[in-house]
Amino acid sequence: MPNSDTLANTAADLYLNLLRDAVTRSVFPEFWQPVVYDKGSWQRVVMAPFMAILKLKGYHLCKRFDFHKEKRTGGSDWPPEAETMIGSKRLENIRHCCTRVIADNVPGDFCETGVWRGGSCIYMRGILKALGDTTRKVWVCDSFEGLPKSTHPEDLKWNFWKHGILSVSLEQVKDNFSRYGLLDDQVEFVVGWFNESLPRSPISKLSVLRLDGDLYESTWDAISNLYPKVSVGGYVIVDDYGGIDSCRKAIDDYRKANGIRDPIEAFDTQVVFWRKS
């Protein structure tokens, strides 16, 4: 079985490179961005009748979008159409971890908590497809309503819950999987706020766990419910550790409370990961 170090210039490698560039739209630059007003904003209220009329006529209000290759590669913009906003470099981090656990026969499925349009999970499923792994599943965990309103003291300064662009329906995410021919019985969806959905989820064993919950509360709910299910030799990836202090504190608090001493490795200024020993 090829691993992340030897997989090169093969059909699988070419497919995964193309899939990476497709879900990030690195090879299909966007030029227009749909206008989405924040939840509770006066603009949303005032513009609602006009937006409804446009929708009835088959139109959508858009504004000009300036595509920058460097920003898309590094995951520092909010793409109008791409299935992921993490950028192609961070997808390579996912690819490394997923191919490594397959090569090393680490048992367990792949999982992401906080999926937006599903691009990272689509890529995980593509990796399984490319490497011929029919035994593992990809768990797609999200409220599919955006982020919850901040209640934890560490989260009160953030208003991510207002951003309408972060609210992506389950139907849209499923459609995105279908677009790439990757919606099948190896993909499972866990729907709801993490404090309610994850404790009762049927997830039993994981080899790769990717956390992208942004907030302290969402990150804590995800890691406290799912880290015990990560196999020895499995990877934990945290998307916002370097960029959102609430997320970083949740991870640090959990690691300290549970005596986790596996070294954290920084992938870039935002993402960190470690391997469970």
The residue-averaged pLDDT of 204-217 equals: 96
Q: How does residue 9 score in pLDDT terms, banded at 50, 70 and 90?
A: low
pLDDT band at residue 153, thresholds of 50, 70 and 90?
Answer: confident
pLDDT over 60 (residue 62): yes
pLDDT of residue 169: 95
Average pLDDT of span 106-110: 98
* Structure confidence at residue 29 (pLDDT): 83
> Which of residues 135 and 60 earns the better pLDDT score?
135
What is the model's pLDDT at position 1? 52
pLDDT reported for residue 8: 55
Say what the pLDDT of residue 55 is: 85
| Highest mean pLDDT out of 20-24, 25-29, 46-50 | 20-24
Strands lying side by side in the sheet with 272-275: 187-191, 138-142, 109-113, 206-211, 230-238, 272-275, 265-266
Query: Average pLDDT in the 207-227 region?
Result: 96
pLDDT range class, residue 149, cuts 50, 70, 90 = confident
Q: Which of 43-47, 102-106, 170-174 has the lowest mean pLDDT?
A: 43-47
Residue of 142, 83, 89, 86 whose CA lies nearest to 112? 142
CATH superfamily entry for domain 87-275: Vaccinia Virus protein VP39 (3.40.50.150)
Ranking 33-47, 68-82, 87-101 by mean pLDDT, the lowest is 33-47
Mean pLDDT, the chain, as a whole number? 91
DSSP letter for each residue of 168-231:
--HHHHHHHHHHTT--STTEEEEES-HHHHSTT-----EEEEEE---SHHHHHHHHHHHGGGEE
DSSP 27: S
**Residues with Cβ < 8 Å from 11, sequence gap 6 or more?**
none
pLDDT score of 158? 75
Weakest-pLDDT range from 59-73, 122-136, 144-158: 144-158
Position 125 scores a pLDDT of 98
pLDDT at 117: 97
Q: How confident is the model at residue 183 (pLDDT cuts 50, 70, 90)?
A: very high
Domain coordinates of the chain in residue numbers? 32-64, 87-275
Q: What is the pLDDT of residue 218?
A: 94
- Which is higher by pLDDT, 155 or 213? 213
Q: What percent of the chain has pLDDT over 90?
A: 69
For the cut 70, the answer to whether the pLDDT of residue 69 exceeds it is yes
Of 12-16, 50-54, 160-164, the poorest mean pLDDT is in: 160-164
Q: Is 91 left (phi over 0), alpha (psi -120 to 50) or beta?
A: alpha
Q: Look at residue 28 in the predicted model and tell me its pLDDT.
A: 85
Our CA angle for 275, 87, 97, nearest 5°, is 20
